[in-house]
Structure 1
Amino acid sequence: MRPSDLAAATPASRDRFVDLLRVASLGTVVLGHWLMAAVSVGGNGRVQVGNLLALEPGLQPLTWVFQVMPVFFFVGGFSHALSYRSTRRGTSKAYSVFLRARLQRLLRPTVVFIAVWGAAALALQLAGLGGGLLDVSLRLVAQPLWFVGIYLAMVAFTPPLLRLHERYGWGAFGGLVAAAVLVDLLRFGLGVPYVEFLNFAFVWLAIHQLGFLRADGRLGRPYLLAGAGLAGAALLVAYGPYPLSMVGMPGEKVSNMAPPTLALLCHGLWLVGAVELLRGPAGRWLNRPHVWRTVVVANGISMTAFLWHLTAMLGIYGALLAAGARTPEPGSGVWWVQVPLRIVAAVTLTGVLVAVFRVFEKPSGAREPSAPRAWAGPAAALGVTLCLFGVLGLSMVGFGGLLQGRTALLIAVHVTAPAAVVMTLSGWLLVERAGRGREVAV
């Protein structure tokens, strides 16, 4: 079905603002990555990719507005609540069917991305090619996969956390916030090792829980949420051990992002409240047919664009260096003058990659199980767990050094890229098999 037909067929009950937030949050992340990349060539000819926010610390307060990943996870909570309730009513095999339905548009393009880059990395290594920007690219292009891993966890935990929400409401959210507070107290107050990694779950799932509250119309007054979150983040940064930037900085002892901190949770509350204040005017704007068609089109390619946007950016820099172009000092006047040209080039190349790979983001036909299968739920749970650890591991180790057994530390376990790829593919196949049944008309 064409995007214009999908837009025209949109039911009046659909929350269009949620679709806009999904597209806008991913688009902001993509643009932020393009702007933060500070590529330079040292006197020894070595290519380096730094972070503009580390070179220009005065820009770090901008992350309090443009670090919008919490908004995407909030939107995910809203969508997952509606989707799981619909699946729960329609089949006795709700969990496996729900996982497959929610993860198709996430995992299929992700698996293709991993397969393409893995094959390219292996071919380059067998050919003895490497060095310079290529080695950096093999490491950097996999980093956005951390987002896929966290989102997988949110989908997997939706059923139990939704039940807690339906029973306790704000109390379920409060329990996750209390757990995040306890983790930071143990981490910073008592120096307990490894406990900080628990906040990958508690912080992001708390933001996700706000989406459940929004789905039930129980979010309350958004200005109170925004004010409390902003005040909390400001106090924690001013008087606590938390850095100013809401994105990770190279070499910093404490990051608000990896692992997430209580300051980032407050930042998420501020953002959720702030975007909810825009719901009214944005809703009226989205009623314009051409605006809504644009959002529908963007939603259909957003994950593909997210996965390949760093490939496009590094490809542009690679072409410039191969042509002998001189890269200006990041943050200099010339560098800023060239920003619009680099953005246009990156958008163009991303568009080409999206045109090639967007087909894998299209969901296949809807299915429902033809007969009860006792193993489907556990198999789906195992599959999504394997995918989660696979993509998180790959985001840390990258695609370089495939034949040398290069490893990265994932929590307390060393993982290699081949092992991460095997876990991801095996998990994806399990999720697909467990949730698959006979085709039904949609």
Structure 2
Amino acid sequence: MPAPGPDANRARYVDLLRGVAILLVVLGHWLITALVRHPDGTITAPELLATVRWTQWLTLGFQIMPMFFLAGGYAAGASWSRHLADGAARGGGSAVGWVRARAVRLLLPAAAYTGFALAGLGVARAAGADPGLLGMVGWALAMQFWFLPVYLVISAATPWLYAAYRRWGLGSVAALGGAAVIVDVIDLAGGGSWHRWVGTLNYLLVWAVAYQLGFAWQGGQFTGRPCLGWALAGGGAAGFALLVAYGPFPVSLILVTGEEVSNTDPPSVAMLAWVLAQCGLCLVAARPVERLLRSERLWRTVRPLGRASMTLYLWHMVPVLVVAAAFYLTDLAPEPAVGSGAWWAWRPVWLAVLAAGLLGLLAALRPLGRALTGLAAAARPQAPVRRPYALLAGVACTVVPLATWATRGFAPDGTPSPAAVMAFAAGVGLILLPPPQHRPARAAEEAQAGG
């Protein structure tokens, strides 16, 4: 088999970045999950980053969402530019059709997962499960949802973000970064709830910086210019170190309860610096890793990770709940003090059990994955496509409940919110609404009959 060309190597590297990012998210969540069974039989989950504070340094290795947004921007830039070229050949392309196809690919797996999670919580509630326990379970099942509304909105804004990149190049990245700094200064100033609302803009601005860098990467702005990657990596790392050492920002790149300033809720200027540093390292590593991925044997090992990344991300906390029920409720699991030497010694066993459970779950979900892939393929961009308002309303209706579930869980008081469920279902329905098809033959027949 001939070796893949440069474009194929780059696509492989992008897939690798996405897969590695999701894998590290999964491992990070599993590693910091701590469970304690009390004498009365209840189980609590103490926050490791708050209980054992040195573990906050571990987040420097596990906060790799900049890598995912960088890869996402590269893939979106390539897809959108192809769509524009195809549209020009056909006499016009539809941004609505492209955005709808991207939204469907993101929301179909999320909707399937949400349906299973809500059904499970509903059955447990009907069976008389403790509302407090269900609240904790619902939070664990939805904790990863913060990513979905952010990525959905940024994906929907791709046509405008890409146009800004084509016009201003890396200046568009600088503009987004500058806006994020201003927003963070306003948020830190405090003085009213409106500051907090302004601060939430950084969920989009900071992560859009990495996404926009993906456009620049795809557009060739870093090709043959490793100094730019090193400048991003070095400047971002130095900025992060200075902001943590002399500013109000903590070292943790994950939210820690009790801290007055967070780097992630919303993303801070320190997180912005980390975004630049991590994206720079990814760009510096691109050429040597692309050469390694020319090996078909290595690629056959890496490829399944990229294909299963969304399933891994959505379902990875389910094995935690199953193992907790099987080993902690039955008092079979050893329970050394959280953060002790014995507790850390058991971590590899904990990770291995969870990995085995997740592999079994992935095998069971394979038919569902194939069905969802088929549905997503049916929603590929079509032109011309109308109903932009239906798509906009669908995105809005899904973003709000997804953000709510990410912060409060599926069932904060033991019972899922009917309003959130209905809003999400309505939003997914509006996005899945098939576009109207032109029927010129029928139109001609009607014109002839009327004439």
| TM-score, normalised via structure 2 length | 0.86
| Kept in 2: contact 1:32–1:66 (CA 8 A) | yes
The Cα offsets for residues 49-72 of structure 1, whole Å up to 9 and x where unpaired, read as 123222222232232232101110
The match for 1:374 is 386
The Cα offsets for residues 298-339 of structure 1, whole Å up to 9 and x where unpaired, read as 122111111111111121122111322242222112211211
Pick from 314, 335, 353: which aligns with 2:321?
314
Question: For the residues of structure 2 that align with 1:383 and 1:344, how far apart are their CA atoms?
Answer: 40
Q: 1:436: how far off?
A: 7.9
The Cα offsets for residues 50-108 of structure 1, whole Å up to 9 and x where unpaired, read as 23222222232232232101110111111111111222233445223212332333211
| Kept in 2: contact 1:173–1:210 (CA 8 A) | yes
Question: For the residues of structure 2 that align with 1:222 and 1:418, how far apart are their CA atoms?
Answer: 48
Question: For the residues of structure 1 that align with 2:392 and 2:39, how far apart are their CA atoms?
Answer: 51
Q: 1:402: how far off?
A: 7.0
Question: For the residues of structure 1 that align with 2:311 and 2:168, how far apart are their CA atoms?
Answer: 37
The Cα offsets for residues 31-64 of structure 1, whole Å up to 9 and x where unpaired, read as 0000011111245543221232222222322322
The match for 2:420 is 420
Is the aligned partner of 1:269 residue 2:272?
Answer: no
Q: Secondary structure at the match of 2:35?
A: strand
The match for 1:173 is 173
The match for 1:410 is none
The match for 1:33 is 29
The amino acid across from 2:60 in the alignment is W
Q: State the percentage of identical aligned residues.
A: 33
The match for 1:253 is 260
Question: For the residues of structure 2 that align with 1:314 and 1:11, how far apart are their CA atoms?
Answer: 44
Deviates more, 1:60-69 or 1:232-241: 60-69
The match for 1:212 is 215
Question: For the residues of structure 2 that align with 1:403 and 1:57, how far apart are their CA atoms?
Answer: 30
The match for 1:392 is 403
Is the aligned partner of 1:67 residue 2:63?
Answer: yes
Higher Cα Rg, which structure: 2
The amino acid across from 2:427 in the alignment is G
Question: For the residues of structure 2 that align with 1:126 and 1:252, how far apart are their CA atoms?
Answer: 37
The amino acid across from 1:87 in the alignment is H
The match for 2:448 is none
Question: For the residues of structure 1 that align with 2:128 and 2:33, how far apart are their CA atoms?
Answer: 27
Consecutive unaligned residues of structure 2, counting only runs of 5 or more, are 439-451
| Kept in 2: contact 1:105–1:361 (CA 8 A) | no
Pick from 325, 340, 346: which aligns with 1:332?
340
Q: Secondary structure at the match of 2:36?
A: strand
Aligned residues: 420
Q: Secondary structure at the match of 1:50?
A: coil
Deviates more, 1:253-262 or 1:57-66: 57-66
Pick from 202, 205, 215: which aligns with 1:202?
205
Deviates more, 1:306-315 or 1:52-61: 52-61
The match for 1:120 is 120
The match for 1:17 is 13
1:368–1:53 distance in 2 versus 1, CA, 3 Å: closer
Is the aligned partner of 1:57 residue 2:60?
Answer: no
Pick from 343, 357, 360: which aligns with 1:349?
357
Question: For the residues of structure 2 that align with 1:205 and 1:47, how far apart are their CA atoms?
Answer: 39
Q: Secondary structure at the match of 2:45?
A: strand
The amino acid across from 1:341 in the alignment is V
Pick from 276, 294, 299: which aligns with 1:292?
299
| Kept in 1: contact 2:101–2:380 (CA 8 A) | no
Is the aligned partner of 1:224 residue 2:235?
Answer: no
The Cα offsets for residues 232-268 of structure 1, whole Å up to 9 and x where unpaired, read as 1111111211111111112222211111101001011
Consecutive unaligned residues of structure 1, counting only runs of 5 or more, are 1-6, 405-415
Q: 1:390: how far off?
A: 2.2
Question: For the residues of structure 1 that align with 2:40 and 2:127, how far apart are their CA atoms?
Answer: 25
Larger strand proportion, structure 1 or 2? 1
| Kept in 2: contact 1:380–1:435 (CA 8 A) | no
The match for 1:157 is 157
The match for 1:101 is 101
The amino acid across from 1:393 in the alignment is T
The amino acid across from 2:270 in the alignment is A
Q: 1:419: how far off?
A: 2.2
Pick from 302, 309, 331: which aligns with 2:309?
302
Q: Secondary structure at the match of 1:323?
A: coil
Deviates more, 1:321-330 or 1:169-178: 321-330
| TM-score, normalised via structure 1 length | 0.88
| Kept in 2: contact 1:93–1:372 (CA 8 A) | yes
| Kept in 2: contact 1:367–1:436 (CA 8 A) | no
1:434–1:209 distance in 2 versus 1, CA, 3 Å: farther
| Kept in 2: contact 1:184–1:262 (CA 8 A) | yes
1:11–1:121 distance in 2 versus 1, CA, 3 Å: farther
The match for 1:409 is none
